[in-house]
A and B are shown apart, each in its own frame.
Chain A
Amino acid sequence: MHEADIHDLSDDADYAASQQQGSRSISRCGSDKRSEPSGAEVVFLKENVAIHPTQYASERIRGRLRLIKQGACLFMTWIPYKEIGSGGGAFGHSDARLSDKDRNLYSIRAVPVTDIRSIRRHNPTLGWQYVIVVLSSGLAFPPLYFYNGGVREFLATLKQHAVLVRSADDANLFLLNDFQDPLQRSLSSLELPRAVSVAPTSTSESSSSSSVSSERPEDGRSYSEYQKHGQKSNDPARDLSIQVLEKFSLVTKFARETTSHIFREIHSDNLNTNDRKNQAPIVSNSNNDVDNSGLESASTESFVAADPIEKPSCRKDISAVKKLPLQWGVLSLFIFDKMTLVWGKPRQSPLGTEEWVTFLDAEGRILDSKDLRKRIFYGGVEHQLRKEIWKILLGYHDYDSTYAEREYLSSMKKVEYKALKRQWKSISVAQAKKFTKFRERKALIDKDVVRTDRSITFYDGDDNPNVMLLRDVLLTYSFYNFDLGYCQGMSDLLSPILFVMEDESEAFWCFVALMERLGPNFNRDQSGMHSQLFALSMLLELLDKPLHNYFKQKDCLNYFFCFRWVLIQFKREFHYEQIMRMWEVVWTHYLSEHLHLYACVAILKKHRKKIMGEEMDFDTLLKFINDLSGHIDLDAILRDAEALCVCAGENGAALIPPGTPPSLPLESNLLYSQQDEL
């Protein structure tokens, strides 16, 4: 058996090359078995396996790759060396530009081999051999470069301990855990007609209104490009989908520029496969969700079209991948090989007082607003700082104002608020009788403030003065912005602000600043909402075409099921503490002004399998989404939204029409198109 394995692996053309490289190297691998104290056995160990986060040689990270067997389970790990080369590598001098912390972000800690879907071996004519490992979740690790050779031994060892088969159509692709279950296959083959039905041809024909006009020509171009890569067109769809996953997990700044191009290529790939008489299913049934919810039955999963960019979540600082890796890009055949992995950055702890002062100069100006926004984007702020920082994030105070200026502005604004409030306070009963609009507004606000967040201690109980403050601020606002007036949902937006500010006037002016951005959500003609829901549909089309097509097929393209999410910025979906975190992150406008839309995409994508697998129609979908309230993992969604935002890049931004809230409107005098009601 062992013999046969070796033989199987040595039958390829690269065998000789890797042999040579292996003999030159100083490898300690394969047979080098050491016992770990924990009872785990190292069955493979290779020093000097590196990843290249950027094109800079100085930023390459060397480390040790191991396969560890514990009981019946086999794990793969890759741990970077410590900066001062203590880890057995003889290369302590380099890597100076990356801190240990950065380097550790790339660590691969004990991934069960059963979670690996495929390994692709690359043998560039110049440079090192490397492999790309794709997990069944669709996540791919960055390429692992074997400086000392040893790819062959690595695969051979894997083969001894796990089910590893070489893809029939691509000699460099190895599939793990690929149980060739005939039943599974016939089940997935049922899926083909549906895969066709969600393919993009039909889309571009019938929905020219909702699709980018430049789509067709680009389609055509990438299709012919695709045809040129002759060897690719023989791949069965399964391998094709792995390629797709590899490509999509590997995204850099470079990729950002070509994202839409690639998305289209994928689509023509799909088309092409279907055209080729469908020998194999395009849908993979091994795509478990990363989030352990993959317990759904296999039969459901197999009916769901594959996610084109499944789960680009993870742990890597985006700034590190913004640099274009050049060194082997030139050599590579396919444009996609130039990409490095995008990881959603891990959430940081909230900004605390000590750190906050480091962002300020002696007089209280913010030194680098972008830096501050970035910090808050990744961690939010501690509650006691919110009072101060929210005013700045919302634009009520300027970033470059001093402590004194802020204090002065606040006191001026207090006076102004009092004057505004007097406008309605001074309306007598007799005048009110002749002032229907005022009466109606007041009544509506009166009844809504007592139905807003009454379960929060700050607002509970009878005759709570805070409820009265809520009312006064809203009523004053409806005079300040008489055209917009009051609309249901505003009390939800104001409630956390008043809770944080604990001051009527400050809360009012923060609310005014927020409504500069979100006011159009409440336009009577719903134009603000429609433009956001439209942008959402464009983004989803870019980031998850199959899901978008599914909604289309189910006549759900109005995205009304996301209405509440967008209208009040997820206020009803999270607990009070969480929504404050969410808002401050969204308000930074750090990666995008429209992070909330990416968050919508992230949530929908997270549940795509369930939505499509259970064939939810509009009603079911709406109920499903309503019921998610209180069950959404905020950190995970923010991470995913960030990764999607990076992934979509400029193409994503380009899909959002200018002036879509919360972006400021193009012509401010056309802000509110209210009819003469209310």
Chain B
Amino acid sequence: MSYAYLFKYIIIGDTGSFVSPISPFQIWVGKSCLLLQFTDKRFQPVHDLTIGVEFGARMITIDNKPIKLQIWDTAGQESFRSITRSYYRGAAGALLVYDITRRETFNHLASWLEDARQHANANMTIMLIGNKCDLAHRRAVSTEEGEQFAKENGLIFMEASAKTAQNVEEAFISTAATIYKKIQDGVFDVSNESYGIKVGYGGIPGTLGWKRWLNFSSRRVLQLKLLIFECFDSSNCVYRVSTLYCLLLLFL
């Protein structure tokens, strides 16, 4: 499907290894469930634990532009951190998830944030999500604390529930809206894909695609650029036509 932009998100947060002795169950923060709720609009109470990373994708619309979100759901266990870090590279947005019924997952946020700041690009938009707000009666972290933490660290904040779908849609979309605004404000050089944004061809004036094409610094393209110059330099008409034909084939 064609899109105007593609944003890469990552979802990070505890797997739930820090548990209170009183509640041995309900100890996941629910990253994979959030993703599934957003992409498939369903809640699957049992979902295989994540090894390495898993992917989801969905189209949304912002400012009448089709935007594709490509979401990376990472494994939460501490021992996989060194792998997880390699996934931060080039993410435009991050959802940092904790479980409102488990204070440990909240206490652990600072270290996740530090990781993200260190390994992701500086302009990454981070959304803090307090998940499982359907379990309000078991709440261990108040909404105000979440808000406070977000404010101190410059994050967007929302409480959500993967089970009831409350605020799930909003969390993903408002992150995208923030990124979109940053693009409009010229914070990103969208032709540089290390910001986690790809420019598509749908809904964007042709010139943008063209511009990206010219900025695309692969060897092949360099070679093509050279060829174009050579082509117009050349007096050999057949050569000109055949080269142009090649170029057309490559880009159509």
Residues on A lying within 8 angstroms of B by beta carbon are: 182-183, 186-187, 190, 193-194, 197, 299, 303, 432-433, 439-440, 442-444, 446-448, 450-454, 487-489, 491-492, 522, 524, 526, 558, 560, 563-564, 567-568, 572, 615, 617-619, 622-623, 626-627, 677-678
The answer for the CA separation of A453 and B80 in the assembled complex, in Å, is: 21
Contact between A447 and B16, CB atoms less than 8 A apart: yes
Q: Are A451 and B46 in contact (CB under 8 A)?
A: yes
Instruction: Name the distance in Å between B10's Cβ and chain A's nearest Cβ.
Output: 11
Q: Contacts of B86 on A, CB cut-off 8 Å?
A: 558, 560, 618
* Contacts A447-B27, A526-B83 given; does A182 touch B242 at CB 8 Å: yes
Pairwise interchain contact A524-B79, C-beta atoms closer than 8 A: yes
Min CB distance, A661 to chain B, in Å? 15
CA distance A443 to B227 in the complex (A): 62
Residue of B nearest to A460 (CB): B46
Contact count A vs B, C-beta below 8 Å: 112
A488 touches B219 (CB 8 A): no
B237 beta carbon closer than 8 Å to chain A = no
Q: Are A452 and B48 within 8 A (Cβ)?
A: yes
B19 touches A439 (CB 8 A): yes
Can you pick out 10 interface pairs between chain A and chain B where the beta carbons lie within 8 Å of each other? A187-B249, A194-B223, A443-B27, A444-B19, A448-B49, A452-B48, A563-B83, A615-B220, A622-B87, A626-B52
A249 to B100, CA, bound (A): 61
* Contact residue among B52, B70, B246 (Cβ-Cβ distance under 8 Å from A186): B246
Nearest-Cβ distance from residue B93 to partner chain A, whole angstroms: 14
Closest to B18 in A: A440
Whether B19 and A489, one on each chain, are in contact in the complex, defined by CB atoms closer than 8 angstroms, is no
Instruction: Report yes or no: A489 in contact with B51, Cβ–Cβ below 8 A.
Output: yes
| A211 CB to nearest chain B CB (Å) | 22
Smallest beta-carbon distance A553→chain B, Å: 9
Give the number of residues in B that approach A within 8 Å (Cβ atoms): 46
B148 lies within 8 A of chain A by Cβ: no
B55 to chain A, nearest CB (A): 5
Q: Which residues of A contact B21 (CB under 8 A)?
A: 432-433, 439
Which residues of A lie under 8 Å from residue B79 when comparing CB positions?
487-488, 522, 524, 526, 678
In Å, the complex CA distance between A535 and B107 comes to 39
Contact with A along B19-38 (1 / 0, CB 8 A): 10100110110000000000
Residue of B nearest to A617 (CB): B193
Give the residues in chain A near B90, CB-CB below 8 Å: 619
Cross-chain contact B47 with A618 (CB below 8 angstroms): no
Closest approach, in angstroms, between the C-beta of A530 and any C-beta of chain B? Answer: 9
The answer to whether A488 touches B75 (Cβ under 8 A) is: yes
Task: Report whether B89 and A450 are in contact in the complex, using a CB–CB cutoff of 8 Å.
Answer: no
A522 to B51, CA, bound (A): 12
Bound CA–CA A432/B22 (angstroms)? 11
Residues of B within 8 A of A452 (CB): 48-49
Q: How far is A560 from B52 in the complex, measured between Cα atoms in Å?
A: 9
B83 close to A451 (CB less than 8 A): no
Least distance between B118 CB and chain A CB atoms (Å): 17
Decide if B52 touches A563 in the complex (CB within 8 Å): yes
Contact yes or no, B19 A492, CB < 8 A: no
> How far apart are A52's CB and chain B's nearest CB, in angstroms?
45
Distance between B150 CB and nearest chain A CB, rounded to angstroms: 27
Which of A299, A560, A622 is in CB contact (< 8 Å) with B249?
Answer: A299
**B170 interface residue (CB < 8 Å to A):** no
- The 9 residue pairs across chains A and B that have the minimum distance between CB atoms: A443-B19, A564-B52, A451-B49, A488-B77, A454-B46, A563-B52, A193-B223, A444-B17, A564-B51
Would A194 and B77 count as touching, CB distance under 8 A?
no
Contacts of B207 in A (CB 8 A): none
Which B residues are in CB contact (< 8 Å) with A623?
A: 55, 70
Q: In this assembly, does B229 line the interface, its C-beta being within 8 Å of a C-beta of chain A? A: no
